[in-house]
Each structure stands twice: as C-alpha cells, then as structure tokens.
A and B are shown apart, each in its own frame.
Chain A
Amino acid sequence: MDRALVERARDGDHAAFATLAEAATGRLYGVATLILRDSDRAQDAVQDALVSAWRDVRGLRDPDAWEAWIHRLVVRACYREADRHRRRRLLADTFDPTPSTVGDGSGHLADRDEIERGFRRLNVEQRAILVLHFHVGLSSAETSLVLGIPEGTARTRLHRALRAMRAALEADARAIQLNPGRPA
C-alpha cells in the first residue's frame, strides 16, 4: 500500500484512488467470495465496498489504516449482501458450489467438500471472522480493528466460530454415516 496514494485519494485525486482500487480488487474479491460463497454476490460486495471507500475516503484519519479500513468495508458489504440474499430466501443451506480457480492444496477432494459444507452452515459473521483470521492472516487485535469490536470479543467470536465449524463437520459426518452415498 502506497501511503502517498492514499493521501492523494483523500485529497480527492480520483486517479490515485483508481490505482488503489485496482490493486485491492483481487484481494477483496477473494475475501468476499470466501465469506459469501457466491461469485456474483462477491463482485457486488467488492463494488459496494470500494464505492463506499471513495465516498468516505476524506474521513480516513490515518492513511496507514487504509488496508484495515477497506477490509472492514468489504466485510460490511458482505453482511449486507448476505442479508439481502436471506431476505429473498435463497441463501439458506443451498448448494451452489463456487468453482475453485487454483490447485487443490488440501489433499482429498472429499475433505474439501466437507469443509465447504461445514463452512456454509456457519452464519456470515462466523465466516467473516474465520476468513479474516485464517485467510487474510489477521491477529485478534487486527481482526477487532477491522470488525470494530473489542479484542476480547474478537477472540470469543473466533473461538465460537471454530466450535461451530467443528460441530458442523461432526453433524456432516453423522449424516453421511446414516445416509451413505448422499451429501449431508
């Protein structure tokens, strides 16, 4: 992140903002895709987040906070997208697998599918905190900053999200034992 670019964007330089936005789009799209598990909605979330960033960039006090700030905006945009989707009653537990675009680093395909199913059972807040921690690599303190919550709350939520993930995997395993041959 180029601090000078952020300062120029903050002064209203749209070209500087465009450079920042182009550099951030891929990373934010990865985060949004993981949280929402839907490519189209992830694109909408990233667009909303970066439009918000331009709209409010003059209020950014510390240029060094740019990265954390845009992650906060994309997480909030994901919350809104999930909410809109829930309102349309299309989100709940449906399977619309997002095609992976890179190689399989996890070993067995079956394991990946189980993780995918377990992850989809989490609510959007649980997904967000897991993505920020395990994918973006933020510490508890940084996660609390992005989510705007106390650090202790961030730790608690991470713990609960992991517990929910384990519970989802256990439920999935039980369902497969009871109904071999079909996904849980």
Chain B
Amino acid sequence: MTATHDVERDLTRWMEAVAPTRAPDHVAPAIVARTRAIRPRPRWLARLLEPPMQTQLSLGRALGFGRSARPILAVLLFVALLAGVVYVGSQLHGQQSLPPPFGVAGNGLIAVEVDGAIVTMNPDGSGLRTLELPFEGVSAASFSRDGTRFAAWANPSVSEPGSRSIIVANADGSSATEVATGRYGLDRPSLLAWSPDDKRLAFSSNADRLYVVDIEARSARELAPSSQIDRRRDPAWAPDGRLAYRCQEASALLHLCVMSADLASERVLETSLGTEFAFQHSSWSHDGTRIAYYVNDAIDHPASEYGWDVATINPETGEERILSVGTPEHLILPTWTPDDRYIVTIGAIIAADGSGVRLMGDGAGGGCNWSEPSPDGRWASCVKEGSLELFPIAGGPPTIIETVAGTAGVMSWQRVGN
C-alpha cells in the first residue's frame, strides 16, 4: 500500500474490520455494580465544574466581532461625553475615594443573577433592586476593582444566533454598552476578570480559548502565545498584569499556566497532578506572590472518585503547598480573601497557612452555588436558591439574608473606598 491509496476508504474498512461490536461480558455488569455504589453529583456541582455537553450544534464557528452600526457609535459618543461630564463633575465636587485594585476595601453592593437579570442589594439584604438594563439574558455580573462599574454576559442587542455579548455598565445599571460580541459559547463562558487598571477584561470561551477585551476600544483578541498549548481557560489577573489560567497540551494533560504581563509569552508551572476539572478558576493572591488552584485529591479519595484539594504555588520559586489534606469534601473554585490570610472555596474557608479547613455547611459544597469573600475580608458568602448566607471568616454562625426566588449562580461583591 502507498499514499496513493484511498486512505479514507481504507481506514473506514479497516475500522469496520477490527472494531469489536460488543464488549466482553463482564464489562457492563462491572459498570452497573460500580455505579450502584456511587451517588451522582448534585446538579449544581456537575454544571458548575464544567458543562457536560453543549446543546446547540451551531456553537464554536468563526468569531465575529464588531458590526457596522452608526447608531451605536453615536450612542457611544454620547455616553463618552456624558461620562466625561460626570467625571469632571465628580472631580470638582471631591467624591468618595476609590478602593485600591487589590487588598482590603469596603463592602459595597452585592450583585446576584436572577432569571437573566441582575439584582443588587446591600450586604444586609436591604435595598433589593433589579437593575434595568437594555439587555436580556444577563448573567455572571462582575464588579470592577474600583467598584464603579460591572461587566456581565448578555444576549446581543442584535440577534445573532449562538453569540453572547459582553456588556459593561455603571454600578447602578446605567450606561450599559456592549464591548464585544462573539461565538464564545452559550452554556458557560468563563467569568469576566477585570484587569488591575480596570481597562481590560479577560475571559475564556466554551472552547477553552482565552481572550482579552480592551473596554475603551471595544475590541477583543485571542491570547495564544505558544503553539504547545492547545486550550486555555479561566484567566485570573495578578496585580502586575500577569495572567494565571488552566492550560492543556495537545496530549490533553492539564496544567496551571502563567502569561507574562505583556501577554506575549507563557509558561507551564510544575504542580501536583490535576485531571478532569482541576485548575479551573484559579486565584492570584492580592500581594501577587501566590496562586491558589485545585488539584487531584490523591489522599482522601480513590482515583475513581475524583476528589480535589486546594493548593497554592509561588510561581517564582515553584514551591507548592496543598492546604486541604485530610478533608474529603470537594474543594473547588478558590478565591483569596483580600488580606491573603484565607482562601474561600465553594462551601469552605481554608487557612492560607495550611492550619485548617472550615466547612460552611453539610454535604457537598454546603449547598452553596457560589462562594466569595467580602471586600473587607470578614465574610464568606454562600449563595443559595432564594437566600444568601454570610459566614464570619473568623468563625461563628452565618447571617442568613433572604433574597429572591430564582437566585442562582455567580455573585459579585462591590469594592468601595473606605
């Protein structure tokens, strides 16, 4: 045989010939026996970790940024003028100081998503308000570091099947504008991460491609400095502008990667083994010296059960520390508290020095859909359907705040100046 043969035909025939049509008799009973002893994950956890399957075939085609739309440009110009006037006015009248981009700040509003809309409230649950936005399907709101704006995913203003838009609005919902639109995936594109100077947003698409959006220029570009890395997911900014994210080689091995501040180069960090969902949603400490992430829990779980431990690494020295050995619960999606003393995961608070883990409730993730530390570093939140539980990080019972039915998914806590 030579290359002149019809390789496609030969491959098809060869596969027909050699592929077994049935498995050995013991395989199916073994699977049934194994699964009988396992409880399925709760729906929220299964979906939070990674969507099992997109449901629309039309996803993942060519990206399409921007569209010729003079009216939008005119609106943008008007918004820019208005913003300029507001800015000058606020400077003249000496408005409140802005918080630092990293570290401890004051607690502002809490934003949660409810049935495709964003609802804000004060930390005590008062002042509940649905933001009036000129977009539908709004989700995953994320306040800017200075607390003056938020970014979120939304349905595009002009119908475009399979596309999602990134919108940016003032914290009260005013002046909402689209800053990028593309086929990033409908099911779960990643959270929108504000850069240290609040001028850019980083995110990843469902297809694990990494993008950064220049908010002012309303332009998005893909970040792929190395051909050795096939996939990149869930970027997190360092104070100096570097990015940490989950990366995957062509061999399908998962790693934690760091991209330089000029976004021109990347390197793989040496960590403990992580498979399946590991390394998603890593978090950079506020002092910029450590990254928190999660890896396989090889001690408290047999390999077949895929447990996870939270670890930290110093990207300069490579020193890794696993913080949750001895804790069998799934510990995922870590976020540093603003004072860098603790790491909050879904349903748990972990001491960054490795001295202990405190669970926020019983069962997987304490029943929390999302957890996040407060800007002042005193509270860890647990978002539940219709309620928000605030656990004192120093210990003690939670404060339970009634929210609204349909509350789900991601919450964001506004940082304000002290």
Contact = CB atoms under 8 A, between A and B. Distances in A.
B32 A169 contact: no
A115 B11 contact: yes
A59 B52 contact: yes
Nearest to B2: A173
Contact of B208 (A57, A114, A148): A148
Interface string B2-29: 1101011011111111111111100110
B20 A30 contact: yes
Interface in B37-62: 38, 40-43, 45-47, 49, 51-55, 57, 59-62
Interface string B183-213: 0000100000000000000000011110000
A75 B86 CA distance: 55
Interface in A1-45: 12, 14, 17-18, 21-22, 25-26, 28-31, 33-34, 39, 43
B31 interface: yes
Interface string A60-83: 111011001100100010011001
B35 interface: yes
A33 B53 contact: no
Contact of B207 (A102, A148, A169): A148
Given A60-B52, A83-B252, A101-B21, A22 B28 contact: yes
Query: Interface centre among A58, A62, A72, A119, by most B CB within 10 Å?
Result: A58
Interface footprint category on B: 35 or more
Contacts of A119: 11, 14
B91 interface: no
A105 to B, nearest CB: 5
Contacts of B209: 150
Query: Interface centre among B13, B38, B60, by most A CB within 10 Å?
Result: B60
A110 interface: yes
Nearest to A125: B250
A49 to B, nearest CB: 9
Contacts of B23: 25-26, 28-29, 43, 46
B67 interface: no
Q: Per DSSP, are chain B's interface residues mostly helix, strand or loop, or mixed?
A: loop
Contacts of B57: 141-142, 145
Contacts of A61: 47, 51-53, 55, 187
B319 to A, nearest CB: 24
A66 to B, nearest CB: 8
B304 interface: yes
B53 A65 contact: yes
B103 to A, nearest CB: 36
Given A12-B40, A51-B34, A152-B61, A134 B55 contact: no
B75 interface: no
A152 B34 CA distance: 38
A55 B40 contact: yes
Interface residues of A, number: 81
Interface in A134-180: 134-135, 141-142, 144-145, 148-153, 162, 165-167, 169-170, 172-173
Given A33-B20, A166-B7, A43 B27 contact: yes
Nearest to B62: A152
Nearest to A21: B31
A103 interface: yes
Contacts of A148: 54, 206-208
A100 interface: yes
A98 B18 contact: yes
B74 to A, nearest CB: 34
Nearest to A150: B60
A69 B52 contact: yes
A14 B31 contact: no
B253 interface: yes
B17 A103 contact: yes
Query: Interface centre among A25, A31, A104, A107, by most B CB within 10 Å?
Result: A25
A104 B17 CA distance: 5
Contact of B55 (A43, A48, A65, A167): A65
Contacts of B252: 76, 79-80, 83, 124-125
B289 interface: no
A123 B249 CA distance: 13
B253 A105 contact: no
B96 interface: no
Contacts of A48: 304
A56 B32 CA distance: 15
B70 interface: no
Interface in B62-118: 62
Query: Interface centre among B3, B57, B275, by most A CB within 10 Å?
Result: B3
A166 B52 CA distance: 34
Contacts of A31: 19
A75 to B, nearest CB: 9
A134 B20 contact: no
B27 A47 contact: yes
B46 A111 contact: no
B34 A59 contact: no
12 contacts: A34-B15, A43-B23, A55-B40, A57-B40, A59-B52, A98-B18, A106-B17, A123-B251, A135-B19, A148-B54, A150-B209, A170-B2
Please provide the 9 A-B residue pairs with the shortest distance between their CB atoms, ordered closest to farther: A59-B46, A29-B23, A150-B60, A62-B55, A79-B252, A54-B35, A106-B13, A30-B19, A26-B22
